[in-house]
Amino acid sequence: MYKITDIFKRKKKTFSFEFFPPKTEEGMKHLFETCDELKKYPDFFSVTYNPDGSSRERTLFVVNEIQKKFKIPVMHHLTCINYNERTL
């Protein structure tokens, strides 16, 4: 599996899909089904967590599961709204 930095070095233009961590088990199942259907199109996936920090653990779980299950690089997308050096 390529690192995302390697993808950017290799290609002038990239394509990715962004996901938000689901809040329910049913949503998680649907997300992984969607990833399975879409995995052949993007260079990588991105998973963004809510700026209030409520989905931080779910984000890490989703990133790890997508990489393990689908062998595609995943970018952790940190939203910096309402954050400062102390809260990061």
Q: Which residues are catalytic?
A: 18
Supply 36's token pair.
């399975």
What HEC string does 48-85 produce?
A: ECCCCCCCHHHHHHHHHHHHHHHCCCEEEECCCCCCCC
Cα–Cα distance for residue pair 67/47, rounded to 1 Å: 11
Cα–Cα distance for residue pair 48/77, rounded to 1 Å: 4
